[in-house]
Amino acid sequence: MSKLPNIATSIFTVMSKMASEHKAINLSQGFPNFPVDKRLTEIVAKLATENVHQYTPISGYPPLLSKIAALTKKSYSRVVHPETEILVTAGASQGIFTTITALLKTNEEVLILDPSYDCYEAPVLLCNAKPIRVALNDDYTPNWEIIDKACSSKTKMIIINNPHNPTGKILKESDFQSLELLLEKYPNILVLSDEVYEYITFEEKHISANTREKLINRCIVVSSFGKSFHITGWKIGYLIAPEHLMKEIKKVHQFLVFSINSICQVAISDYLDVVSTDDIKKMYQEKRDYFRGLLHGSRFELMPCEGTYFQVASYSAISNENDVDFCKRLITEYGVAAIPISTFYGDGKDLKLIRFCFAKDNATLEEAAKRLCTI
C-alpha cells in the first residue's frame, strides 16, 4: 500500500527526460544553462585542497550563517541571530520538507494556494495532515476572502510562494495587510513563505515576509542559493525562523541530514563577500524582455511576468488539446520543452497555459523562439 497513492513523478523529471530523449531545447524544468560566475568556480577550485571536507555544525558553517544574517539585514533590515534563527539546508526543498514534517501534526490543515509549486503536498500527507487547496483569483492574486473562509481551528499553516512559481506574480503591500489581519484572528496559524526567487523581481519590489514585523514571529522564510547564484545542482538554501520554531525544525534536520555539504557552504560563504544580488535582477529582467520580444510575432499569448525566471503563455489560439498533450507535441514536433500549468493545480485544471523557463543563454532562447514562431 502506497503512502502517497496520488503523488506522481514530478512533472519536472518527466519533461526534462522527454526533452533529452528527443534532443529538444529544454525550457521546462527551471535551471540556467549559462556558465556559473567565474569568481565562484575559482573559489571552489581553491577550496578543494583546503581543510573544508568534514561535517559542519548542524545549523551550518558558522561564517556562512553570519553572512546570511548580514545579507538578511542588508536586503530586509531584519536582524536575525545566526546560531538560533538560521538553518542551512540541502536546497529549499529539504528546508520545506523538514519544516512541514517538524511542525505538523495528524489532521491539522495546511492551506496551499492553487496553482502552486509541487513540493508542498507530499510532506503534508506524510504527516497525516490535510492539504487544503485554495484557488488564487484568475489574475493569480490571492483571494483573501476565500482564504479566510478556508481557515479554521484546524489550520496550522498557510504556504505562500512569493515571487510565485509558475505565474511570476508577486505579493503586494495590500496582500500582506490582508494576511496580517487574517492571522490576528487565528493566533495559531504559521506561515511558510517560499521566497526562493526573492532576488528575481522586476518592475515591482519584492516584499519579503522578513520585513513584516507582524509575521516574523510565526513565519518560516525559505531561500535558495541555487536560484540566486545559478547553481541549482548544488542543492543549497536556508531557512529563517524564530528560535522557538527553529528548535523544532532542527530536531528533524539533525536526523534527516545532520549538516549540509561542507565545501559548498564554505564556497558560498566566501562568494557572498564579492557577489551582489542586484546584478541578478538586471540580468533576468533583460532575459525576460528579450524572450518576450522574440515571441512577439508568435501565436502564443504572453502573461505578465513580475518575477521568477518563468514565462507563462496561453496557446489557446493554437490548439484545443489539453496542456499535457500540447507540451508533449511541442517536444516531438517542434523540439521545445515546456511545463503544462495544469500540473500545478490540485485538480489538474487545464487553462491551455504552459510555462517556459527563460534562464538560458541568448542563443538558446533565439533558437527556441524561432521554433515556437513557426507554430
Q: In DSSP terms, which residues pair with 224 in a beta bridge?
A: 237
Query: Grid cell 490540485 — which residue?
Result: 346
Query: Whose Cβ is closer to ligand PMP: residue 75's or residue 232's?
Result: 232
Query: Grid cell 534527516 — which residue?
Result: 256
Give Cα 104 to chain centroid, integer Å: 21
| Residue 92: contacted member of ligand GLN, ligand PMP, none (CB under 5 to 8 Å, by partner type) | ligand PMP
Residues 296-325, mask of contacts with ligand PMP (x by CB under 6 A):
------------------------------
| Cα 57 to Cα 369: distance, rounded to the nearest angstrom | 47
| Cα 87 to Cα 67: distance, rounded to the nearest angstrom | 12
The reply on whether position 12 binds ligand GLN by CB under 6 A is yes
The reply on whether position 140 binds ligand PMP by CB under 6 A is no
Q: In DSSP terms, which residues pair with 301 in a beta bridge?
A: 314
Among 59, 99, 224, 259, binds ligand PMP (CB under 6 A): 224
* Joined grid coordinates for residue 54: 568534514
How many beta carbons lie within 10 A of that of residue 157, not counting itself? Answer: 24
Total residues binding ligand GLN (CB under 6 A): 5
The reply on whether position 95 binds ligand GLN by CB under 6 A is no
Q: What DSSP letter does each residue of 136-161 carry, written as one string?
A: PPTTS---HHHHHHH--TTEEEEEEE
* Joined grid coordinates for residue 73: 539585514
Of 204, 114, 92, the closest CA to residue 158 belongs to 114
The reply on whether position 28 binds ligand PMP by CB under 6 A is no
Among 115, 237, 307, 340, binds ligand PMP (CB under 6 A): 237
| Residue 161: contacted member of ligand PMP, ligand GLN, none (CB under 5 to 8 Å, by partner type) | ligand PMP
Residues 164-193, mask of contacts with ligand GLN (x by CB under 6 A):
-x----------------------------
The least distance separating ligand GLN from the CB of residue 54, rounded to whole angstroms, comes to 28
The reply on whether position 144 binds ligand GLN by CB under 6 A is no
How many beta carbons lie within 10 A of that of residue 189, not counting itself? Answer: 20
Query: Whose Cβ is closer to ligand PMP: residue 165's or residue 269's?
Result: 165
| Cα 69 to Cα 90: distance, rounded to the nearest angstrom | 18
| Residue 80: contacted member of ligand PMP, ligand GLN, none (CB under 5 to 8 Å, by partner type) | none
State how far the alpha carbon of 278 is from the alpha carbons of 74, 75, 321, 355, in Å.
Answer: 12, 10, 41, 25
Residues that bind ligand PMP (CB under 6 A): 30, 91-93, 117, 119, 161, 165, 194, 196, 224, 226, 232, 235, 237
Residues that bind ligand GLN (CB under 6 A): 10, 12, 29-30, 165
